[in-house]
Amino acid sequence: MVLQFPQIDPIAFRVGPLAVHWYGITYLVAFGLFLFLAHRRLRHEPYASIQGPGAWSRRDIDDMLFLGVMGVIVGGRLGYCLFYKPAYYAMNPLEIFAVWKGGMSFHGGMLGVILSQVWFSHSRRKPYWQVMDFVAPCVPLGLASGRVGNFINGELWGRLADPSLPWAMVFPQAGPQPRHPSQVYQFLLEGVLLWVLLWIYARRNPREGQVSAAFLVSYGFFRFVAEYYREPDAHLEWLAQQTGLSMGQWLCVPMMVAGVLLWVWAQKRQPRALVAR
C-alpha cells in the first residue's frame, strides 16, 4: 500500500472572477504568524529592557513586516531567476515580472529581507544585528506555512522512495513511482523544528548577532539534509549528477559558513549597552 497524493484544488474559493489560491493564503498565514510571534518577542530580552529613542514598539513591527514582505517578493523572484534559470530569463527578461507563473527562491527572498532590514535599521536608528536577531525566530513558522502551500500544489516533490516506506507517496504529476513527500520533511525541519530551536535559544539572550548566526547555520543544515530527499529541478539535474549536490545545497554552503563566522565574530564582540542615551 502506497499513499496517493490527495487531489486538492489549488483554488480555495472564488469571488466573482477572482480566484483565491491556497498558496496565497499560506503566504498570508505566514505574515500573520510573523506578527503574532513578533509581538511576543517584544516581551523578551533584550528588547523589553531597551529604553529611550531605541525602544521597540508595535509600529516597528508593522514597518518591519511591510519592508520584509517587499524583500521576500522582490528578492525571492529575482533569486529564482538568477540562481535557477539565468539563461532563460536573460533571453526573456519580461518573464521576470510574470510571478503568477511561479518561481520563487528562499535564498533570494532571504537576501531581499536582509537588504530591507538594512533600510529599517538605518531609518529607525537601531543596531542592525539587534534587528535581525529580533526577526530570525519569527520566520521559521512562516516558512513552514509556505511548505504547506507547496504540498497542496503537488509541487517540489521528493526523489524516488522505497515502496515499503510507510509515508511514500505517489504524486500524479511526477509519474506512478512512490516518492518522498519532501515538502513535509521541509515543513518539519526548516519550519517547526527550526522555530523551536531558535525560540529557545533566543530566550537565553545570547550576544547580539548570534541568533541570526544560529538561523543561518541551522536553516542551511536542515535544508542541506532535506535536499537529499527532494527531486532536483529538471533543468538542474546535471548539476546534481556532476557535483553530487543540488543547487539548493550549493546555496546552503555559503549560508552555513557565513553563520559560523558571524557567531564567532559576535562572541568576540564587546556587548552593547541596552539603554539608548
For residue range 88-134, list pLDDT tens digits in order: 888 988 888 877 667 888 889 999 999 999 999 999 999 999 999 99
Residue-level pLDDT at 276: 43
- Name the pTM for this structure: 0.89
Alpha helices for the chain (secondary structure H):
22-41, 58-83, 86-91, 106-124, 128-135, 140-153, 182-186, 194-203, 210-226, 237-243, 247-268
Cβ atoms 176, 98 nearer than 8 A: no
Cβ atoms 210, 129 nearer than 8 A: no
Q: Cβ–Cβ contacts within 10 Å for residue 213, how many? A: 25
Residue-level pLDDT at 88: 87
**Nearest Cα residue to 39 out of 25, 18, 59:** 59
**Domain boundaries along the sequence of the chain:** 11-56+126-268
What gap in Å lies between CA 157 and CA 182, rounded to an integer? 6
- Residue 203 among known ligand-binding residues: no
- Type of residue found at 216: L
Taking the CA atoms of residue 191, residue 193, residue 199 and residue 202 in that order, the dihedral angle to the nearest 10 degrees is -110
Residue-level pLDDT at 270: 74
Q: What is the mean pLDDT of the chain?
A: 91
Residue-level pLDDT at 100: 65
Cell 538568477 locates to 82
Q: Worst-scoring range by mean pLDDT, 30-44, 86-100, 129-143, 165-179?
A: 86-100
Residue-level pLDDT at 78: 92
Confidence class of residue 183 from pLDDT cuts 50, 70 and 90?
very high
Beta pairing class for 178-179 and 169-170 = antiparallel
Confidence class of residue 273 from pLDDT cuts 50, 70 and 90?
low
Kindly list the strands in the beta sheet with 3-4, ordered across the sheet, starting from the edge strand earlier in the chain: 3-4, 169-170, 178-179
Considering only residues 37 and 27, tell me which one the structure prediction assigns the higher pLDDT: 37
